[in-house]
Amino acid sequence: MPPVTSIGEPQRFEALREAIEACRICRDEPRYGPPLDHEPRPVFQLAESARICIASQAPGIRAHRSGRPFDDPSGVRLRQWLGLTDAEFYDASRIAILPMGFCFPGLGKTGDLPPRRECAEVWRPRVFGRLSNLKLLVVIGSYAQRWHLGHDATQQGLTETVRAWRRHRDDTTPSVFPLPHPSWHNNRWLKLNPWFETELLPVLQADVRAVLL
Residue 156 sits in a domain whose CATH number is 3.40.470.10
Number of domains in the chain: 1
110 confidence band (pLDDT: 50, 70, 90): confident
What is the end-to-end Cα distance of the chain in Å, rounded? Answer: 32
Domain assignment of residue 17, yes or no: yes
| E strand residue ranges, 57-125 | 95-99
Q: Is the pLDDT of residue 111 over 90?
A: no
Residues 6+ apart with CB under 8 A from 84: 95, 208
**What is the average pLDDT score of the chain?**
93
**Mean pLDDT, range 162-179, rounded to an integer:** 95
**Mean pLDDT, range 80-105, rounded to an integer:** 98
Q: Is the pLDDT of residue 206 over 70?
A: yes
Q: Cα–chain-centroid distance for residue 87?
A: 19
**Mean pLDDT, range 68-90, rounded to an integer:** 97
**Mean pLDDT, range 206-212, rounded to an integer:** 97
Q: Would you state the pLDDT for residue 80?
A: 98
**Mean pLDDT, range 45-55, rounded to an integer:** 97
Q: Would you state the pLDDT for residue 30?
A: 94
Q: Would you state the pLDDT for residue 6?
A: 41
**Mean pLDDT, range 73-78, rounded to an integer:** 97
The pLDDT > 90 percentage for the chain reads 89
Residue with the bigger pLDDT between 169 and 2: it is 169
Domain assignment of residue 27, yes or no: yes
CA dist 178 → 24, 114, 125 (Å): 29, 18, 19
Q: Is the pLDDT of residue 9 over 70?
A: no
Domain assignment of residue 2, yes or no: no
Count of CB atoms situated within 10 Å of the CB of 23: 19
Q: Is the pLDDT of residue 10 over 80?
A: no
Q: Is the pLDDT of residue 60 over 60?
A: yes
Domain that residue 58 falls in: 13-212
Q: Kindly compute the dihedral angle of the four CA atoms of residues 98, 169, 72, 30, in this order, to the nearest 10 degrees.
A: 30
Domain assignment of residue 86, yes or no: yes
Domain assignment of residue 6, yes or no: no
CA angle 91, 125, 25 (to 5 degrees): 90
Task: Name the residue among 42, 51, 45, 12 with its Cα closest to residue 115.
Answer: 42
**Mean pLDDT, range 173-201, rounded to an integer:** 96
Residue with the bigger pLDDT between 83 and 112: it is 83
Domain assignment of residue 35, yes or no: yes
109 confidence band (pLDDT: 50, 70, 90): confident
Domain assignment of residue 4, yes or no: no
Domain assignment of residue 3, yes or no: no
For the chain, give the number of residues.
Answer: 213
**Mean pLDDT, range 124-150, rounded to an integer:** 96
The pLDDT > 70 percentage for the chain reads 95
